[in-house]
Amino acid sequence: MTEDYLWDRSGPPDPEIENLERTLAAVSYRALGRPREVVPRPARSRVWWAVAAAAVLGAVALSRLTPPAPATAWRVDSFAGQAQLGGQVAAVSMSLHAGQLVSTDDRSEVTLRADEFGTISIGPDSRLHAASNRRVTLERGVLHAFIWSPPREFVVDTPSARAVDLGCQYTLQVDPSGDGLLKVSLGWVAFQFGEHESFIPAGAECVTRKRGGPGIPYYEDAPESLRQSLALLERGDDAALPGVLAAARPADALTLWHLLTRAAERDRGAVFDRFAQLVTLPPEVTRAAVLRRDSHSLDLCWDALKLENTEWWRGWERRWDSR
């Protein structure tokens, strides 16, 4: 059966419909002595035009009811090439609104400035979304941040980790696969994803992977043998650990401390022994406590690095966990 039969009985009938008509014939309009009227069938084109018009009117009404996204504190400070904000070519002083996309091609870049936060420069072939004044997402490309707001006030999300500013200057790269590299030139950055945390001081860098989160940080001037062995270790080659330990300098105790929190149980003793050779540990730190990952003992090991104490860098966790 087609819809023609329902309109004017001109199409092929359906047996079930015919049976229903016979059952209801006694009480039909014609059986009561009144001539049957054929309901005129509207033209299909009219129906489709009506549907289209209703859709357009609905979209217009919805757009009027939906308030525009609020402007963030970030504005275009400078640009080169055909950088775009929200699909429009960037212009100096243009505001970045929440949810808008900042995009650059291979010949363009743009610098955004927020007086109370700092500046972020987006390099070529990059995509960045603004969530708010305090949070942006770098989907891919290169971002250079110089942040002068108080620590913990600004974060950059990536497909593989969150970078929390602790008063710093850094460069963050994200490749098309979602993996990235963070290099810190001033201050500190905390890298976090799930249960993995990395704390990167000035002069250090850290790889992050989409499936594994932030890796083990290391100083840029670390021995090449340490860097190569660490890369193999993070790819799952446990046989590379002795190369990391042998090449470590006193400054590279930063790398070993992160290994203490992540190394397999069978390797943790070797890491601790080398760590204890490179730093001066307080007497209350015991090998057994560190091997079972006692949090207080690990904090004391961190303090032995003579960088920032644990109260300082754990503060950022509490701050962001409460938001």
The domains found in the chain, sorted by start residue, are 3-65 (no CATH), 70-215 (2.60.120.1440), 228-323 (no CATH)
Residue 86 CA to residue 63 CA, distance in Å, equals 17
Residue 217 CA to residue 92 CA, distance in Å, equals 37
Task: Say yes or no to pLDDT of 308 above 90.
Answer: no
What pLDDT score was predicted for residue 194?
79
pLDDT band at 256 (very low <50, low <70, confident <90, very high): very high
Look up the pTM and report it.
Answer: 0.75
Residue 274: name the closest of 229, 244, 306 by CA.
Answer: 244
The per-residue pLDDT for range 139-152, each reduced to its tens digit, is 999 999 999 988 88
Would you call 300 helix, strand, or coil by DSSP?
A: helix
Which of the two residues, 210 and 125, has the higher pLDDT score? Answer: 125
Task: Say yes or no to pLDDT of 311 above 80.
Answer: no
Contacts of 217 by beta carbon, 8 Å cutoff, 6+ apart: 191, 198, 199, 200, 204, 205, 206, 254, 255, 258
The per-residue pLDDT for range 219-251, each reduced to its tens digit, is 999 999 999 999 999 999 999 999 999 999 999
What pLDDT score was predicted for residue 168?
85
φ/ψ of residue 14, rounded to 5: -105, 130
Angle at 182 between CA 171 and CA 297, to 5 degrees: 135
φ/ψ of residue 76, rounded to 5: -70, 125
pLDDT band at 192 (very low <50, low <70, confident <90, very high): confident
